[in-house]
Chains A and B, each alone.
Chain A
Amino acid sequence: MIIILLSIIFIVLRVMPGDPVLAMLGDKAPIQQVEAMRHQLGLDRPLHIQFLDYVSNLARGDLGNSLIWGKRPVIVEILEHFPATLELTIASMIVMLLVGVLTGAQAAYRRNSPVDYGLRIYGIVIYSLPIFWFGMILQLIFGVYLKWLPIAGRIDPFLSPHGVTSLYTIDSLIAGDLLGFVSAVQHLILPSLTLGLVLSGIFTRLTRVHMLDVLRQDFVTAARARGLKENTVLYKHALKNAFIPILTMIGLQFALLLAGAVLTESTFSWPGMGSYLVERISYRDFPAIQGAVVFFAVLVAAVSVTVDMIYAYLDPRIRY
């Protein structure tokens, strides 16, 4: 799968119409300059050689050098931005699953009641919100009017935690830096709520459907007959069994989470991969754009393999 993804990216970036060199230098650039740039980037060689080059460089983790600001290797720049995205996606995933699974379970449990209808409408409406707009509305309410939470950045600019993970929340905890931790969490709340809530709609609906299936099964009736509390039946017995299909969905949703992270980061000036990609697009830094897109592809493939493995572990009937 990864090979095909990489080929598609190659086709999109090199074969499809649109000339990166002209886009970088402008239409009126002198022809010599354009040719020189082409040569420098290796774009004047035959396509199949370019492709082989691209694949072999990738295999060595070499994504080329950026065209601006010191022309550092793209992979280095990406690895600097990635922890921010990781922190945002993990926090959003927690919000997404907590809200989505709980509302879905409640909707299934109270099927055809006003609560169920309300939650089903929530599932459709929340998913129809443009992520960046929802983020701005939250910024407006909690940041500008109520002034409860910061609306940009990852942490107070006067604090700059250093640590092994580069996840500010965890680093500041390890360092015992309470101030830094509070600041990091404060900065994380709005972006992760934005991304997590918008994507929770899918899980509300998904959990509801699977819970409806599970709740009709004999073991649920059996658990009730044994006099277990309704909450125990619902969350310990039913939800556990509804969770396997939900888990596969998490793998698929990871792609949506990353795409949403691009918009969320741009809205909250969150210095992650999404901001990096958008910034480099505005500078027409093509090696960086290509590197970021390839990095996303590798990430998606890695997560999908991991989810498959967890799935096989949870459901012994599956073997690869």
Chain B
Amino acid sequence: MVGKMEIRSLSGFLARRLMRKVAGGVEAYLAIAGAILLVVVVAMTLLSSYIAPYNPIVEVGPALRPPSSQFPMGTDHLGRDVYSRVIYGAIVALEVSGISSLLSSLIGTPFGLLSGFLGGKTDRLFSIIMDSIYAFPGLILAIAIAAMMGPGVINMSIAIAVVYIPTYFRMIRGQVLSIKEELYVDAARALGAKNSTILFRYIFANVIPSLVVVLSLNVADAILTEAGLSYLGLGIPPPTPDWGFDLSKGKSFLPGGYWWMITFPGLMIVIVVLGFSLLGEGLNQILNPRLREK
């Protein structure tokens, strides 16, 4: 019996949507391009010890050499291999952005759900606090927190996480407010479903696609913020390879025209951020067809 295959999983749903979209829009290409970039970067990170030709934190050659066959991206002011540092640098960037996005979604989502679902005074209180944080320049808040807490992966992740909690809160709350009015929620309530059932099985389940989109875009932002913090000297203490910190070192050698010290770490940031942005944008168009631009 060969019937129509039902696709239940999110990935199956995505794949089906993707197949349909490839014919028509650019959105699918965006998502695919982003995903490819990310797969490459993640593979590179996991295999960094195999790919990188040198140890990133020891002197392996003369200082400040331009790119050559021996050092594909040149060497830095301490004679370390820029290529190896660029590859290892992905670890800190992905760690910090991953932990911070996870933290902010874990805090922002439940508050958003409750705020939107309960309404009234609770909602107003949460909203006003979240809106205030949201209005504040994120990087400056992260700078203040990071300066207070000191360097380190976890501290940096917390500093960045605080900044992005309102992003999740606002998005989830907005979605809950509109989903709450849907007929199927009324139907569930009429059938006697408990509040908790409605909140989790009906409302939360329908928020997940948007959550995935925001998560992807948020990781992109978090990587930029992480790079900014470490560029300003609030990141991981040296000699751990870190793109933002390497850029700040490269800056002092910029007037001498040592372009390779800044070009490559920066390009890596752009590639990873672009990967997450494209993935997020593409998913957004695919998952929320109602939002699709005319």
Asked if B254 contacts A281 (CB within 8 A), the reply is: no
Q: How far is the CA of A300 from the CA of B270 in the complex (A)?
A: 28
- B144:A136 contact, CB within 8 angstroms: no
Contact B145 A12 (CB under 8 A): yes
In angstroms, Cα B196 to Cα A109, docked, is: 48
Residue A137 is within 8 A (CB to CB) of chain B in the complex: yes
Contact B262 A128 (CB under 8 A): no
> In the complex, are the beta carbons of B255 and A212 less than 8 A apart?
no
Q: Give the interface segment out of B48-56, B79-87, B112-120, B130-138.
A: B130-138
How far is A136 from B254 in the complex, measured between Cα atoms in Å? Answer: 8
Shortest Cβ gap from A297 to chain B (Å): 6
A135, B131: Cα distance in complex, Å: 31
Query: In the complex, are the beta carbons of B262 and A130 less than 8 A apart?
Result: no
- B145 proximity list for chain A (CB < 8 A): 12, 16
Instruction: Kindly report which residue of chain B lies nearest to residue A254, judged by CB atoms.
Output: B137
With both beta carbons as reference points, the residue of chain B lying nearest to A263 in the complex is identified as B228
Q: Are A140 and B147 in contact (CB under 8 A)?
A: no
Interface centre among A133, A209, A256 (most CB of B within 10 A): A133
Interface residues in B219-261 (C-beta closer than 8 Å to A)? 220, 224, 227-228, 231-234, 244, 247, 250-251, 254-255, 257, 259
Q: Is A117 an interface residue (CB 8 A)?
A: yes
B234 (CB) vs chain A CBs: closest residue: A281
B294: A residues at CB distance < 8 A: 212, 216
- Could you say which residues of chain A place their CB within 8 Å of the CB of B203? none
- Does A174 have its Cβ within 8 Å of any Cβ on chain B? no
Q: Does B263 contact A (CB under 8 A)?
A: yes
- Per the CB 8 Å criterion, the residue count for chain A at the interface is 56
Does A8 sit within 8 A of B, measured CB to CB? yes
Q: Which of A17-25, A31-39, A73-81 forms contacts with chain B?
A: A17-25
The docked-state distance in angstroms from the alpha carbon of A185 to that of B24 is: 47
Size class of the contact patch on chain B: 35 or more
The yes or no answer to A267 lying at the interface (CB within 8 A) is yes
Which residues of the other chain, B, contact A9 by a CB distance below 8 angstroms?
Answer: 144
Give the CA-CA distance A255 to B132 in the complex, in Å.
12
Q: Which residues of chain A have C-beta atoms less than 8 A from B233's C-beta?
A: 278, 281-282
Q: How far is the CB of A31 from chain B (nearest CB, A)?
A: 20
Q: How far is the CB of B272 from chain A (nearest CB, A)?
A: 9
| Chain A nearest Cβ from B223, distance in angstroms | 9
Q: Does A266 contact B (CB under 8 A)?
A: yes
State which residues 247-294 of B face A: CB under 8 Å.
247, 250-251, 254-255, 257, 259, 262-263, 265-266, 269-270, 273-274, 277-278, 281, 293-294
- Are A13 and B137 in contact, CB atoms less than 8 angstroms apart? no
- Which A residues are CB-close (under 8 A) to B277? 124, 127-128
Q: Which of A18, A140, A209 contacts B257 (CB 8 A)?
A: A140
Which residue of B is nearest A20, CB measured? B148
In chain A, residues 77-128, which have Cβ atoms closer than 8 Å to a Cβ of chain B? 117, 120, 124-125, 127-128
